[in-house]
Structure 1
C-alpha cells in the first residue's frame, strides 16, 4: 500500500469522456505518482481551497474535512452551496491525501494539519463567531478528537458518517471490521480498493455520476496510507473527547450505516443533537435523495446557534 509504481488510481479525463456517463471497472487506471498528479483533476500546487461567501467579507467560515482515501474535493459541492448561502468555506487535504499525499498520516499529524489550516484560513466572522468544523467519516472521527484537544478552536461542529465506535472501547462488530480492513486492504492494492468503492456506489443507485466524477473519480483516490487510517480509527476515543467541547455538535448519519454509539455520543456532548436519514447509507451527503436536506440541516443548525447575515 505504499507510494510505489502504479499505485495511484484515477479515472482520467479521456476515460470520463469515453465512459458515457457510467464509470466502468476498466476506466480505473493506476499510475505512478508523477503521471497520476498530471492526470488527476486535483491541483497539487496547494492543499486548501477557499470558496468566498457570496455576500463578501466577514462571513462565518466553515471548515470541511474529508473522509479516508478522499481529498478536499469530497465536499466541493457542499462548499459551493453554502458559499451561496453566505458562508466562507474552506476545503483542506489531510496528510496522506490530496496534495499532502506524501506527508505521514497519524492522529497527531492530522490534528496539527487541521489546527494549522483553521488558524491560517479561518478567522472569526465580523460578528465574532469562530469557524465551524464539518467532518465526514475519517474527518469526523479526527474531528471529535480535535474538539476534545482544542475545545476553544471552533464554535460548533457537524460530525457526519460517524455512528460506530471504532476506537477505544469498541464492540465486537467494529473489531471484526477493523481486522478485516487490516487483513484485506494490503492484499487488494489501491486500484482494487477504488473499484470496490465504486461497486458500493453503484449499489446505492442514487449518487449522481457527475458529482462522483468531480468529488472522487477524477481527483483520484488516496489509499497509500490506508493502514494508517485504520490506526487513527482504533486510537479515537469520542466518549472521552466530546464532553470537553462546550459548543453545539450536530451528528448526522444514515440509518443503513454502522451506528452503535451515536446516542451515547450525543449524551456525552454538552450540546449534542442527532439527525438520522431513513434509508440512507454512508454516502448520504452526495445521495440525490438526501444531499439537499443535508445542506439545509447544516444551515438550520448553524442558524440555531449563530447570527447569520
Structure 2
C-alpha cells in the first residue's frame, strides 16, 4: 500500500494506473475508520484494480468548530486497517495541500440541501461538494464508494456528478451496524458509556416507523409517534425526524405509489451528534 500526501502524487499514481488499463476505485473518508469504511474498501476491491482511500478531515464541511476540533484522528491506526482489506494507495493530505488558497466557489443544490442536514448545518454541503470535487479531479476514479448512512450526502453527490459531468459511477453500500443496531460511525467512539447504551434507540425508532409506513400509517402520525419515543429518553436530544421522498428528499404529506421513502433521523447524545436512516422501497 502506497502512502500519498500530495495532490501531484495522487494524480501521478492514478494516471499511471489508467495508462495501464486499470480500473480505479475511490473511497473518500475522514478517517477514524470502522467496519463500515472497510466494507466500502472491500466492495471497491471487488470491482477495481486500484483502490484509493482518502483520509481528510475537511474543515469546510464543519459548521461547528468544536465538532471539527474533537473529530477523532487516528491515521496510523487507520493505515494498519486498510492494507489487509485491499487498499492499494492511501491519500492523507494536509489542509494546505487540499486548499492552497481558500475556496471561493459556492455550490447550490436547491431543495436537496434545504432540508435535514442542510437546514441544520448551513454550508455543510458546500464544503462536502468542494472537497469531493477536488478528490474526483485528482483521483479520476471510475467508481467512488459511499455509505448509505449519509443518504442525503450521497444524493447531493449524485447531483454533483450529474451537473458537472464527472465520468464516474457512484456506488452506495448498505449501512453497517453494531450488533445492537447502532449505525457504525466515527463519532461513536466519542460516546460516553451511558450515551452509548441509549444510542440504539435511534435505530429502534426507525424500525418502528418503517413498520408503520409499510402499514400505510400517515407520515404525520408516524413522525408524532417517533418523536414521542425519542423524547422519552432523557439522554437523547432529537434534532429532526423526517419522512421524505428518497430521491428528492422532500418531506412527504402522503405516499406515492412506486416511490421509495427514506426515514432520516439526527439527534444529540451527550454532546455527540449522530445520524441514521432507513430506505423503504416504494
Report if TM-score (shorter chain) is over 0.5: no
TM-score (norm 2): 0.35
Q: Larger relative contact order (C-alpha < 8 A, sep ≥ 6)? A: 1
TM-score (norm 1): 0.33
Which structure has greater strand proportion? 2
